[in-house]
């Protein structure tokens, strides 16, 4: 994380540094996303120290965590479709093991198995899509693919290949209709693992998607074969709408956050859906990167609060959180910050990042995308406020003991809350890096 921040600030990656014949690319986008992955990994590793207390196989847990983070970092820097696929597998395979880490817990093992089976299918679809693109372009390097697919004589093959590659990204980002693994995996996994795969893994999928879709398949070059921007627009609307409506019907807080994560994937998809060729593409793509940065802290913090509640023996329903603020006021203040920031209220960086996204959509001429996003944000306030109401207004639940305060888990939750709040005024410091990195990739 320190190296990525130092390189980003010092201008390394402008212009992009290519390694191994262009197989790896170190530029502003890669470094920005690596800051996101490493930040989430640091918070999860810190919180896991107390959460895993007295559990077996702790060394294996941290090894799997670091292997997955390594794969995510390579996904952000992939300059080749082959490297992107291998990096995606390096990020996914340890994640399957992490989800099923509680081997004596039927829910954890079942979630890991479902995640693995759906992941295997999506990997096959993604790999087959890559093979079709290679058949048309004769290359796996992202830059070379862009040159070869313009005015190709095989538009049908290319169109199917692009859609299959897009489907692989949709799985990794838990976008509808490839989202059905997410609620099961997030609910069954240990809460720190849920934080990790819902924040870092989602950002990794978007990191690879942003680079591949904008560099290898520029819409003006492949529009004769497939209008993938239109497909992403449909994907964004359906994903954010279904995710938010499903979250609003949940009684389990962890499952609510899982569907909320699906909804946020829809918001970030606006970063690709608004690349219509009009307006400032760097603005909306950079806005997607900024939202993933803020989301990394506020969503990770929310899941880590659930881990803290599980440590205290609190149940997972809204009713189980009743009156919790009277026993643990500081932690509940942090959870309140996460909930309102996820909803887009001006208490954290989520307000600014959503503003950038919606402004970028309007600037690109797809104002209706911004309108759908705003309506869904208003809906999300309903179910996020249910958590806040339960903690602060309802009468306390019986039999909850919060006399112990796990130091590292508590520190991770509070740190995530502080960063979420600080990003509200300070996001302007990071937005320049995101917008410049996005513009460099597009042009």
**What is the pLDDT, as a whole number, of residue 214?**
92
Record the tokens describing residue 128, joined without a space.
């087959």
Q: Compute the distance between CA of residue 395 and CA of residue 375 in angstroms, rounded to an integer.
A: 31
Per-residue confidence band for 102, with pLDDT thresholds at 50, 70 and 90? confident
* pLDDT score for 84: 95
CA dihedral (330, 425, 345, 39) positive or negative: negative
pLDDT band at 390 (very low <50, low <70, confident <90, very high): very high
Which residues sit opposite 19 in a β-bridge? Answer: 24
Question: Distance between CA 181 and CA 116 in Å, rounded?
Answer: 9
- What integer best gives the mean pLDDT of the chain? 91
- 53 φψ region: left (φ > 0), alpha (ψ -120 to 50), beta (else): beta
What's the pLDDT score for residue 289? 95
Give the tens place of pLDDT for each residue, 312-325.
Answer: 888 888 988 998 88
Q: Which tens digit of pLDDT belongs to each residue from 145-193?
A: 988 887 677 788 999 999 999 999 998 898 888 888 888 889 889 999 9
| 3-state helix vs strand vs coil in the chain, percent to 5 | 75, 0, 20
Where do the structural domains in the chain lie, given as residue ranges?
2-442
User: What whole-number percentage of the chain has pLDDT above 90?
Assistant: 70
Confidence of residue 397 (pLDDT cuts 50, 70, 90): low
pLDDT digits (tens, 9 = 90+) for 10-69: 988 888 999 999 999 999 999 999 999 999 999 999 999 988 888 888 999 999 999 999
Place of tokens 């994640």: 95
Q: What are the angstrom distances between the C-alpha of 316 and each of 106, 146, 148, 252, 334? A: 17, 48, 52, 5, 18
C-alpha span between 343 and 351 (Å, rounded): 8
Burial class (CB in 10 A: 0-12, 13-18, 19+), 217: buried
Q: What does the H/E/C string look like for 8-34? A: HHHCCCCCCEEECCCCEEECHHHHHHH
Q: Is the pLDDT of residue 401 over 80?
A: no
The answer on pLDDT for 208 being more than 80 is: yes
Choose among 334, 288, 280, 281: nearest CA to 307.
Answer: 334
Contact 157, 136 (CB under 8 A): yes
pLDDT in tens, 118-131: 899 999 999 999 99
Site of tokens 């799985």 = 171
Q: How many residues are listed for the chain in this entry?
A: 443
d(CA 44, CA 302): 12
């Amino acid at each position: 994380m320190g190296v990525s921040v130092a390189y980003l600030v010092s201008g390394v990656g402008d212009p992009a540094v290519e390694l191994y014949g262009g197989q790896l690319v170190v530029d502003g986008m890669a470094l920005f996303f690596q800051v996101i992955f490493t930040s989430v990994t640091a918070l999860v590793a810190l919180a896991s120290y107390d959460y895993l207390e007295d559990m077996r196989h702790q060394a294996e847990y941290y090894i799997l965590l670091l292997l997955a983070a390594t794969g995510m970092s390579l996904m952000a820097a992939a300059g080749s479709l082959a490297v992107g696929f291998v990096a995606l597998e390096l990020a996914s395979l340890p994640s399957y093991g992490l989800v099923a880490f509680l081997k004596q817990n039927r829910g954890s093992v079942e979630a890991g198995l479902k995640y693995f089976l759906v992941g295997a299918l999506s990997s096959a679809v993604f790999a087959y899509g890559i093979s079709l693109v290679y058949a048309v372009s004769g290359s796996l390097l992202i830059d070379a693919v862009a040159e070869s697919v313009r005015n190709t004589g095989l538009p049908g093959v290319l169109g199917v290949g692009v859609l299959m590659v897009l489907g692989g990204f949709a799985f990794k980002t838990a976008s509808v209709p490839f989202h059905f693994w997410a609620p099961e995996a997030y609910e069954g996994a240990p809460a720190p693992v849920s934080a990790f795969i819902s924040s870092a893994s989602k950002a990794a999928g978007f990191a690879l998607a942003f680079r591949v879709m904008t560099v290898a398949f520029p819409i003006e070059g492949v529009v004769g074969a497939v209008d993938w921007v239109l497909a992403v627009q449909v994907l964004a609307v359906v994903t954010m709408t279904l995710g938010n409506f499903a979250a609003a019907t949940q009684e389990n807080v962890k499952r609510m956050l899982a569907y909320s994560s699906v909804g946020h994937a829809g918001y970030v998809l606006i970063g690709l859906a608004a690349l219509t060729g009009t307006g400032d593409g760097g603005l909306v793509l950079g806005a997607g990167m900024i939202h993933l940065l803020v989301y990394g802290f506020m969503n990770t913090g929310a899941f880590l609060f659930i881990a803290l509640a599980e440590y205290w023996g609190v149940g997972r329903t809204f009713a189980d959180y009743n009156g919790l603020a009277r026993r643990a006021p500081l932690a509940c203040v942090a959870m309140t910050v996460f909930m309102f920031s996820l909803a887009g209220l001006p208490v954290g960086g989520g307000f600014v990042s959503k503003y950038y996204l919606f402004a970028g959509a309007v600037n690109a001429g797809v104002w209706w995308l911004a309108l759908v996003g705003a309506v869904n944000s208003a809906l999300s306030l309903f179910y996020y406020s249910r958590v806040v109401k339960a903690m602060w207004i309802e009468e306390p639940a019986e039999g909850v003991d919060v006399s112990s305060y796990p130091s590292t888990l508590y520190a991770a939750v509070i740190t995530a809350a502080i960063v979420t709040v600080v990003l509200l005024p300070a996001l302007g410091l990071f937005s320049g890096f995101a917008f410049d990195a996005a513009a460099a990739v597009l042009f």
